[in-house]
């Protein structure tokens, strides 16, 4: 019988392989690296969220959470996928994945333009990077 730590490591490995497969098929290396980083951060929580539940749901939820932060569902972005593509790939349901994705985003306070989990392109396009506060007033910097 596996110990709790061994079980978590095994599940983490299974989720990581699913993330790798999806990133390879639909996304890119940068998304895989962000997904791997998010999964590792989840594994360090006192109560590891993915200790229970289907690994496919957790993998889909991680991709979905990163997608929400990085505008992945916007068809003008590259790469771009739909929520349906994520669910079709992992064999999951939209409502379940959406709920787990929200749980992840809330757990780590993930928002658009996130410094830690934003893609390089999103960080470069972050409009808040061009703002500075001086004496309580916000000013936009010129390029």
Q: What is the CATH number of the domain that holds 54?
A: 1.10.472.10
Range of the domain at 16: 4-140
| Tokens encoding 131 | 């703002």
Greater pLDDT, 113 or 32? 32
Cβ-in-10-Å burial (0-12, 13-18, 19+) of 127 comes to exposed
Query: pLDDT grade, residue 126 (50/70/90)?
Result: low
pLDDT attached to residue 64: 98
> Residue 102: is its pLDDT beyond 60?
yes
* Nearest residue to 142 (alpha-carbon basis) of 121, 131, 128, 125: 131
- Count of structural domains, the chain: 1
pLDDT band at 106 (very low <50, low <70, confident <90, very high): very high
pLDDT surpasses 70 at 58: yes
% the chain with pLDDT above 70: 93
């Amino acid at each position: 019988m596996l110990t709790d730590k061994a079980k978590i490591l095994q599940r983490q490995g299974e989720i990581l392989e699913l993330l790798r497969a999806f990133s390879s098929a639909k996304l890119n290396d940068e998304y895989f690296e962000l997904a791997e980083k998010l999964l590792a951060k989840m594994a360090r929580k006192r109560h590891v969220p993915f200790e229970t539940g289907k690994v496919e749901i957790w993998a889909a939820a991680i991709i979905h959470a990163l997608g929400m932060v990085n505008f992945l569902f916007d068809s003008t972005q590259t790469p771009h996928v739909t929520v349906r593509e994520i669910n079709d790939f992992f064999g999951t349901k939209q409502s379940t994945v959406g709920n787990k994705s929200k749980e992840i985003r809330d757990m780590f306070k993930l928002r658009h333009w996130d410094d830690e989990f934003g893609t390089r392109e999103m960080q470069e396009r972050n409009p808040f990077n061009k703002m500075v506060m001086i004496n309580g007033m916000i000013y936009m910097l010129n390029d």
